[in-house]
Amino acid sequence: MTGTIGIIGSGLVGKAVARLAVRAGYNVVISNSRGPETLAGLVAELGPLARAGSVDEAITAGDIVTLSIQLAVFEALPADSFVGKVVLDQTNYYPGIGNFRRADLDKGELTSSELVQRHLRGAKVVKGVHNLGWIHMEHNARPRGDAERTTLPVAGDDAAAKAVVSGFIEDVGYDVVDAGSLAESWRIEPNTPIYFWPYVPAIPDGLTDAEAKKLYQQAGKPISPETARQLIDGTQRPSPIGGTLEGMPPIHVALFLELASADTVKT
Protein backbone atom coordinates (compact mmCIF):
# COMPACT_ATOMS: atom_id res chain seq x y z
CA MET A 1 0.00 0.00 0.00
CA THR A 2 1.50 3.33 -1.08
CA GLY A 3 -0.11 5.47 1.62
CA THR A 4 -2.01 8.70 2.06
CA ILE A 5 -0.97 12.30 1.59
CA GLY A 6 -2.83 14.83 3.71
CA ILE A 7 -2.72 18.22 2.01
CA ILE A 8 -3.33 21.47 3.86
CA GLY A 9 -4.07 24.14 1.29
CA SER A 10 -6.02 23.82 -1.95
CA GLY A 11 -4.48 26.69 -3.86
CA LEU A 12 -2.21 26.30 -6.86
CA VAL A 13 0.50 24.48 -4.93
CA GLY A 14 -1.86 22.14 -3.08
CA LYS A 15 -3.60 21.19 -6.30
CA ALA A 16 -0.28 20.45 -8.00
CA VAL A 17 0.79 18.17 -5.14
CA ALA A 18 -2.58 16.42 -5.20
CA ARG A 19 -2.34 15.73 -8.94
CA LEU A 20 1.18 14.38 -8.63
CA ALA A 21 0.21 12.19 -5.68
CA VAL A 22 -2.82 10.55 -7.28
CA ARG A 23 -0.91 9.94 -10.52
CA ALA A 24 1.65 8.05 -8.45
CA GLY A 25 -1.07 5.95 -6.80
CA TYR A 26 -1.29 7.71 -3.46
CA ASN A 27 -4.53 8.38 -1.65
CA VAL A 28 -5.11 12.07 -1.01
CA VAL A 29 -7.11 13.95 1.61
CA ILE A 30 -7.08 17.64 0.70
CA SER A 31 -8.28 20.47 2.92
CA ASN A 32 -8.54 24.22 3.15
CA SER A 33 -9.79 26.83 5.58
CA ARG A 34 -13.16 27.12 3.84
CA GLY A 35 -14.36 23.57 4.34
CA PRO A 36 -14.58 20.30 2.34
CA GLU A 37 -17.73 21.36 0.50
CA THR A 38 -15.68 23.92 -1.47
CA LEU A 39 -13.49 21.16 -2.92
CA ALA A 40 -16.10 19.02 -4.66
CA GLY A 41 -15.00 20.02 -8.17
CA LEU A 42 -11.32 19.40 -7.47
CA VAL A 43 -11.99 15.99 -5.91
CA ALA A 44 -14.10 15.01 -8.91
CA GLU A 45 -11.19 15.98 -11.17
CA LEU A 46 -8.68 14.03 -9.08
CA GLY A 47 -10.72 10.84 -9.10
CA PRO A 48 -11.39 7.99 -6.66
CA LEU A 49 -8.06 8.20 -4.82
CA ALA A 50 -8.90 11.67 -3.52
CA ARG A 51 -11.37 13.04 -1.02
CA ALA A 52 -11.91 16.37 0.70
CA GLY A 53 -11.71 16.75 4.43
CA SER A 54 -11.24 19.21 7.22
CA VAL A 55 -7.72 20.28 8.17
CA ASP A 56 -7.82 17.91 11.14
CA GLU A 57 -9.00 15.06 8.90
CA ALA A 58 -6.14 15.68 6.46
CA ILE A 59 -3.65 15.63 9.35
CA THR A 60 -5.10 12.46 10.85
CA ALA A 61 -5.23 10.60 7.54
CA GLY A 62 -1.86 11.62 6.17
CA ASP A 63 1.20 9.41 6.34
CA ILE A 64 2.78 12.64 5.12
CA VAL A 65 1.06 15.99 5.72
CA THR A 66 1.98 18.77 3.30
CA LEU A 67 1.93 22.44 4.21
CA SER A 68 0.91 23.82 0.81
CA ILE A 69 0.18 27.22 2.30
CA GLN A 70 1.75 30.62 2.83
CA LEU A 71 4.23 30.80 5.69
CA ALA A 72 2.32 33.79 7.06
CA VAL A 73 -0.48 31.54 8.37
CA PHE A 74 1.72 28.93 10.09
CA GLU A 75 0.56 29.90 13.58
CA ALA A 76 -3.02 28.97 12.64
CA LEU A 77 -1.98 25.33 12.25
CA PRO A 78 -3.29 23.15 15.12
CA ALA A 79 0.08 22.16 16.58
CA ASP A 80 -1.23 19.44 18.90
CA SER A 81 -2.80 17.58 15.97
CA PHE A 82 0.60 17.19 14.30
CA VAL A 83 2.32 15.27 17.09
CA GLY A 84 4.20 12.32 15.57
CA LYS A 85 3.41 13.33 11.98
CA VAL A 86 5.84 13.59 9.09
CA VAL A 87 5.32 17.10 7.68
CA LEU A 88 6.42 18.23 4.23
CA ASP A 89 7.02 21.96 4.57
CA GLN A 90 6.49 23.72 1.24
CA THR A 91 6.36 27.20 2.73
CA ASN A 92 8.77 30.00 1.82
CA TYR A 93 9.56 33.33 3.41
CA TYR A 94 8.40 36.22 1.22
CA PRO A 95 8.45 39.23 3.57
CA GLY A 96 6.90 41.58 1.03
CA ILE A 97 3.75 39.49 0.63
CA GLY A 98 0.86 39.59 3.07
CA ASN A 99 2.55 41.99 5.51
CA PHE A 100 4.33 39.04 7.12
CA ARG A 101 7.77 39.90 8.38
CA ARG A 102 9.85 38.57 11.28
CA ALA A 103 13.09 39.97 12.64
CA ASP A 104 14.39 36.50 13.57
CA LEU A 105 14.05 35.38 9.95
CA ASP A 106 15.44 38.63 8.56
CA LYS A 107 18.51 38.33 10.81
CA GLY A 108 19.08 34.68 9.94
CA GLU A 109 18.63 33.59 13.55
CA LEU A 110 16.64 30.63 12.27
CA THR A 111 15.28 29.35 8.98
CA SER A 112 11.62 29.42 8.01
CA SER A 113 11.39 25.64 8.43
CA GLU A 114 12.91 25.88 11.91
CA LEU A 115 10.16 28.37 12.68
CA VAL A 116 7.55 25.88 11.46
CA GLN A 117 9.19 23.07 13.45
CA ARG A 118 9.16 25.24 16.58
CA HIS A 119 5.39 25.68 16.22
CA LEU A 120 4.75 22.03 15.31
CA ARG A 121 6.87 20.90 18.21
CA GLY A 122 5.82 17.24 18.14
CA ALA A 123 6.04 16.81 14.36
CA LYS A 124 8.92 15.74 12.12
CA VAL A 125 9.28 18.61 9.65
CA VAL A 126 11.05 18.12 6.32
CA LYS A 127 11.64 21.01 3.90
CA GLY A 128 10.95 20.04 0.30
CA VAL A 129 8.97 20.54 -2.93
CA HIS A 130 9.12 24.25 -2.16
CA ASN A 131 11.76 25.43 -4.61
CA LEU A 132 9.83 25.26 -7.86
CA GLY A 133 6.52 26.76 -8.94
CA TRP A 134 3.25 24.90 -9.12
CA ILE A 135 3.44 24.77 -12.92
CA HIS A 136 6.78 23.05 -12.94
CA MET A 137 5.92 20.67 -10.11
CA GLU A 138 3.71 18.93 -12.64
CA HIS A 139 5.55 19.61 -15.90
CA ASN A 140 9.04 18.63 -14.67
CA ALA A 141 8.00 15.31 -13.12
CA ARG A 142 9.44 12.27 -14.93
CA PRO A 143 9.52 8.51 -14.26
CA ARG A 144 12.58 6.82 -12.82
CA GLY A 145 15.31 6.36 -15.39
CA ASP A 146 14.05 9.09 -17.71
CA ALA A 147 16.90 11.18 -19.11
CA GLU A 148 14.87 14.36 -18.42
CA ARG A 149 14.27 13.57 -14.74
CA THR A 150 15.45 16.39 -12.49
CA THR A 151 16.41 16.67 -8.82
CA LEU A 152 14.86 18.33 -5.78
CA PRO A 153 16.48 18.96 -2.37
CA VAL A 154 15.15 18.12 1.08
CA ALA A 155 16.30 19.20 4.53
CA GLY A 156 15.29 18.00 7.97
CA ASP A 157 16.43 16.92 11.42
CA ASP A 158 14.86 13.45 11.45
CA ALA A 159 16.57 10.93 9.15
CA ALA A 160 13.60 8.57 9.02
CA ALA A 161 11.20 11.38 8.15
CA LYS A 162 13.54 12.58 5.40
CA ALA A 163 13.58 9.06 4.00
CA VAL A 164 9.77 8.93 3.95
CA VAL A 165 9.48 12.29 2.22
CA SER A 166 12.27 11.44 -0.22
CA GLY A 167 10.45 8.24 -1.17
CA PHE A 168 7.32 10.21 -1.92
CA ILE A 169 9.20 12.75 -4.03
CA GLU A 170 10.90 9.96 -5.95
CA ASP A 171 7.54 8.27 -6.55
CA VAL A 172 5.96 11.41 -8.00
CA GLY A 173 8.76 12.08 -10.44
CA TYR A 174 12.01 13.46 -9.02
CA ASP A 175 15.44 12.44 -7.82
CA VAL A 176 16.33 13.75 -4.36
CA VAL A 177 19.42 15.09 -2.61
CA ASP A 178 19.79 15.69 1.12
CA ALA A 179 20.59 19.33 1.88
CA GLY A 180 21.17 18.76 5.58
CA SER A 181 19.34 19.86 8.71
CA LEU A 182 16.58 22.43 9.10
CA ALA A 183 19.24 24.86 10.32
CA GLU A 184 20.99 24.36 6.99
CA SER A 185 17.84 24.70 4.91
CA TRP A 186 18.78 28.32 4.12
CA ARG A 187 20.83 26.70 1.35
CA ILE A 188 17.60 25.84 -0.50
CA GLU A 189 15.50 28.89 0.38
CA PRO A 190 14.56 31.75 -1.99
CA ASN A 191 17.40 33.54 -3.77
CA THR A 192 19.74 30.53 -3.70
CA PRO A 193 21.10 28.79 -6.81
CA ILE A 194 18.78 25.78 -6.53
CA TYR A 195 15.66 27.85 -5.96
CA PHE A 196 13.13 28.15 -8.80
CA TRP A 197 15.22 29.31 -11.77
CA PRO A 198 16.88 25.95 -12.60
CA TYR A 199 13.44 24.40 -13.14
CA VAL A 200 12.05 26.84 -15.69
CA PRO A 201 12.75 27.00 -19.43
CA ALA A 202 14.51 30.00 -20.96
CA ILE A 203 12.08 32.34 -22.72
CA PRO A 204 13.63 34.00 -25.79
CA ASP A 205 12.80 37.55 -26.79
CA GLY A 206 10.30 38.21 -29.55
CA LEU A 207 7.55 35.79 -28.52
CA THR A 208 3.93 36.80 -28.16
CA ASP A 209 2.40 36.56 -24.68
CA ALA A 210 0.56 33.40 -25.70
CA GLU A 211 3.72 31.81 -27.13
CA ALA A 212 5.72 32.73 -24.03
CA LYS A 213 3.09 31.28 -21.67
CA LYS A 214 2.98 28.04 -23.64
CA LEU A 215 6.77 27.70 -23.61
CA TYR A 216 7.00 28.59 -19.93
CA GLN A 217 4.81 25.64 -19.04
CA GLN A 218 7.41 23.23 -20.40
CA ALA A 219 10.10 21.67 -18.24
CA GLY A 220 13.40 23.32 -17.55
CA LYS A 221 16.76 21.69 -18.21
CA PRO A 222 17.12 18.67 -15.88
CA ILE A 223 19.50 18.89 -12.92
CA SER A 224 21.42 15.76 -11.98
CA PRO A 225 21.84 14.85 -8.30
CA GLU A 226 25.54 15.71 -8.66
CA THR A 227 24.77 19.17 -10.02
CA ALA A 228 22.16 19.75 -7.33
CA ARG A 229 24.72 18.85 -4.69
CA GLN A 230 27.22 21.31 -6.16
CA LEU A 231 24.61 24.09 -6.18
CA ILE A 232 23.72 23.43 -2.55
CA ASP A 233 27.27 23.10 -1.28
CA GLY A 234 28.40 26.26 -3.09
CA THR A 235 25.58 28.43 -1.76
CA GLN A 236 26.22 31.54 0.28
CA ARG A 237 23.47 32.81 2.55
CA PRO A 238 21.42 35.43 0.71
CA SER A 239 21.23 38.99 1.97
CA PRO A 240 18.61 40.24 2.40
CA ILE A 241 16.84 37.03 3.39
CA GLY A 242 13.54 36.12 1.76
CA GLY A 243 12.03 36.02 -1.69
CA THR A 244 10.51 38.81 -3.74
CA LEU A 245 8.16 38.90 -6.71
CA GLU A 246 10.83 40.91 -8.52
CA GLY A 247 13.10 37.89 -8.17
CA MET A 248 10.65 35.68 -10.08
CA PRO A 249 10.23 35.44 -13.85
CA PRO A 250 7.71 38.15 -14.89
CA ILE A 251 5.73 35.57 -16.85
CA HIS A 252 5.34 33.46 -13.70
CA VAL A 253 3.97 36.42 -11.77
CA ALA A 254 1.59 37.21 -14.63
CA LEU A 255 0.30 33.62 -14.76
CA PHE A 256 -0.10 33.54 -11.00
CA LEU A 257 -2.15 36.74 -10.97
CA GLU A 258 -4.22 35.50 -13.91
CA LEU A 259 -5.05 32.21 -12.22
CA ALA A 260 -5.52 33.80 -8.81
CA SER A 261 -8.14 36.14 -10.22
CA ALA A 262 -10.07 33.18 -11.65
CA ASP A 263 -9.70 30.78 -8.74
CA THR A 264 -9.14 31.55 -5.08
CA VAL A 265 -5.73 30.76 -3.65
CA LYS A 266 -6.84 31.02 -0.04
CA THR A 267 -5.77 28.19 2.21
Give residue-wise pLDDT tens across range 189-238. 999 999 999 999 988 989 998 898 889 988 889 999 999 999 999 999 99
- The whole-number pLDDT of residue 79 equals 98
Alpha-helical regions (H) of the chain = 12-23, 40-46, 55-61, 103-106, 112-119, 134-139, 159-172, 209-216, 225-233, 250-262
Mean pLDDT of 184-193: 97
Would you place residue 262 in the very low, low, confident or very high pLDDT band (cuts 50, 70, 90)? low
Q: The pTM is what?
A: 0.94
Closest CA to 173 of 145, 142, 199, 148: 142
Quick one: fold of 4-262?
A: Rossmann fold (3.40.50)
